[in-house]
Amino acid sequence: MNHFDVIIVGLGPSGSIAALLLETYGIKVLAIEKEKEIYNLPRAVTISDQGFRMSQLAGIDHIYEENSTVLGGARFTDKDLNTIGNAIELDGLISPNGWPPSSLFHQPYTDQAIREKLNNSKVEVLLEHEFKNLNHIDNQNVIKVFNLKEQKEVEFTCRYLIGSDGGSSLVRKELNIQQIDLEYNRDWVVVDVELMNENTLGNQVIQVCDRERLSTFVPSHLPFRRWEFIIHEHEDKNTFLDETKIQELISKWLKPEEYRIIRKAVYQFHSVIAKNFQKDNCFLVGDAAHQAPPFMGEGMMSGYRDAVNLAWKIAVTIKNELNNKLLKSYEEERIAHSKFVVENSAGIGELMEAYAQASDTEEVPKELVAKGYGSFVLPNLSNGLFFGGKANEKMHSGEIFPQPLQYHNSKIVKRMDHILGSKFCLVSESKFSVSEENKRFLELLGCKSLILKKEYIDENSWLNFFMEQGKTYLIRPDRYIFGSTTSHVTLNELIDDLKIRINLENTI
Ligand SMILES: Cc1cc2nc3c(=O)[nH]c(=O)nc-3n(C[C@H](O)[C@H](O)[C@H](O)COP(=O)(O)OP(=O)(O)OC[C@H]3O[C@@H](n4cnc5c(N)ncnc54)[C@H](O)[C@@H]3O)c2cc1C
């Protein structure tokens, strides 16, 4: 009764999406959360194109779509709000993932709807249960949990444990995993307001590089708007939660009668990353594994990427009774990528400081400027579960395969990711065949074979780019390309390599 395939500790955004994804793969999951209600201080506000696409996999994209507004762009300004350097213009763009590059959402609405979806799922959810400790007995994780409502201890066992218990993760401590401090640690106050009237604040994020006080304006969804202000070391951070202090900080933008403060919090923005994301049969995801200052709006997105990367690997391992070979690629792929996000998020904060201090913006080091604007383009994956063990430009492995879109009068009417299925997928423009042995292997994986209709290819410029190269692509469940055929690599060789990498070569 008390044994599960997977136990998830912490039902913030990362744990919630991990639970929903594992459920879709038919895995028996217990999710425990110490709080009764969802977190209600101001936190995540932007969701990226990839974030939306990952939400599609978990069936929660409609929740974000109903509660979000497309972001128009981002810019750095001086204290008088004059733009410094380049700005990022996002209006009207659709990425290969099939969504606008960034959208703004109201987290209390989305988190509540996601919690309701979880409560109605097959995931066993225990709220007001606090994870206490972990032991490994007979190749199983044995965890002790304290039922806060009934004030009693309960014990559960599982094959895999996922620690998604946030920045001060007890799971991470129990696993004795150290963190690397990337040394951006600054106090900021974050304030969400509800606007009383129409306003002219615009739809772009503004990073104000004011020597006296750095600040960020975030347009947010519907009547809400957000400001973030740095707190200097000599200042008393508690005073920054006073209404009059907040009104004084916002006075450059709005008069007090034009808004109502709905949420406020002082955070220390950190940049840290765990040395390992896996130990034995336990994994860290989300803030438990990495924390970034929010300037890139990518912290929660990194947590989503962790969950999506891990969920299908756990499912394939459990369903095929494999050893942990496939799971090793989780840490290999995710540490490097999330380190980029942490470093570049801190880089944006450092760029703001450099712009604020410089008398001439030309003095600001080019590497720092590149971090500010360049970091909005995320890297592909490099080493991991790809043909030959690493990404390869010629094969496009390590890149994300574009989402097929259906248009009507130049408007997207349908996102067609579902035609790729939720497991592996072989995609080509023309017929292809594989050996009988490989056919059996692909069946075990639930791999779909798809010949893309010409009408989709013609109306999707991103798809066209990939398909005009005449390749057959082997795509992973998280939409990353495992590899593709080339003049040197046949389809059977591609599949043979996957077989070895996930340790299924002796099962067929
Ligand atoms: C001001 C601010 C703005 C941000 N803006 C963005 C943004 O725009 N876009 C973006 O992508 N990211 C953003 N982020 C980052 C994002 O909010 C976090 O990365 C994200 O919330 C992490 O989610 P998580 O599920 O990993 O951790 P958390 O949200 O911290 O969830 C952890 C959960 O674990 C539970 N828990 C902890 N310990 C235990 C225990 N022992 N037993 C049981 N349960 C436990 C907690 O109660 C909590 O519910 C922002 C962060 C801040 C601070």
Domain assignment present for residue 255? The answer is no
Residues 368 and 402 in one domain: no
Number of domains in the chain: 2
Residues 434 and 368 in one domain: no
Residues 137 and 23 in one domain: yes
Which amino acid type is present at position 294? P
- Mean pLDDT to the nearest integer, 478-490: 96
Would you list the DSSP string of 342-385?
HHHHHHHHHHHHHHHH-SSGGGS-HHHHHHHHHTTSPPPP-BSS
Q: Is the CB of 10 under 6 A from ligand 1?
A: yes
Q: What's the gap in Å between 34 CA and the centre of ligand 1?
A: 13
Which amino acid type is present at position 213? R
| Burial class of residue 411 (count of CB atoms within 10 Å of its CB; 0-12, 13-18, 19+) | exposed
Q: Is the CB of 163 under 6 A from ligand 1?
A: no
Q: Is the CB of 130 under 6 A from ligand 1?
A: yes
The pLDDT, as a whole number, for residue 365 is 85
Q: What's the gap in Å between 356 CA and the centre of ligand 1?
A: 30
Chain segment 150-187, per-residue pLDDT in tens: 999 999 999 999 999 999 999 999 999 999 999 888 99
Chain segment 334-384, per-residue pLDDT in tens: 999 999 999 999 999 999 999 999 888 888 888 888 877 777 789 999 999
Do 94 and 412 form a contact (C-beta atoms < 8 A)?
yes
Three-state SS for 257?
Answer: helix
The answer to whether the Cα torsion of 414, 419, 420, 422 is positive or negative is positive
| Residue among 197, 216, 233 nearest 295 (CA) | 216
- Closest-CA residue, ligand 1 atom 15, reads 299
- Closest-CA residue, ligand 1 atom 53, reads 43
Residues 366 and 488 in one domain: no
Q: What's the gap in Å between 44 CA and the centre of ligand 1?
A: 8
Mean pLDDT of the chain: 94
Q: What is the pTM of this model?
A: 0.97
Q: Where are the alpha helices (DSSP H) in 191-297?
A: 243-250
| Residue among 189, 200, 186, 193 nearest 352 (CA) | 186
The pLDDT, as a whole number, for residue 413 is 94
Residues 284 and 414 in one domain: no
Q: Is the CB of 8 under 6 A from ligand 1?
A: no
Domain assignment present for residue 458? The answer is yes
Do 421 and 403 form a contact (C-beta atoms < 8 A)?
no
Domain assignment present for residue 303? The answer is yes
Range of the domain at 148: 3-47+107-181+276-350+362-374
Q: What's the gap in Å between 294 CA and the centre of ligand 1?
A: 12
Residues 460 and 341 in one domain: no
> Residue 507: pLDDT above 80?
no
Between CA 329 and CA 291, with CA 162 as vertex, the angle to 5 degrees is 80
462: domain CATH number? 3.40.30
Residues 165 and 301 in one domain: yes
Question: C-alpha distances in angstroms, 409 versus 59, 133, 406, 449, 459?
Answer: 27, 57, 10, 30, 11
Q: What's the gap in Å between 369 CA and the centre of ligand 1?
A: 28
Residues 396 and 458 in one domain: yes
- Closest-CA residue, ligand 1 atom 35, reads 10
Mutation probe of ligand 1 site: the residue of 188, 221, 296, 300 with most atoms within 8 A of C-beta: 300
Chain segment 61-112, per-residue pLDDT in tens: 999 999 999 999 999 999 999 998 778 999 999 999 999 999 999 999 999 9
Q: Is the CB of 44 under 6 A from ligand 1?
A: yes
Q: Exposed e or buried b for every residue in 376-387, given b needs 16+ CB within 10 A?
A: bebeebeebbbb
Do 364 and 371 form a contact (C-beta atoms < 8 A)?
no
Length of the chain (residues): 508
The pLDDT, as a whole number, for residue 72 is 96
Q: Is the CB of 307 under 6 A from ligand 1?
A: no
Rounded distance between C-alpha atoms, residue 361 and residue 179, angstroms: 34
Ligand 1 atom closest to Cα of residue 170? 41
Residues 370 and 403 in one domain: no
116: domain CATH number? 3.50.50.60
Chain segment 286-316, per-residue pLDDT in tens: 999 999 999 999 999 999 999 999 999 999 9
Q: Is the CB of 165 under 6 A from ligand 1?
A: yes
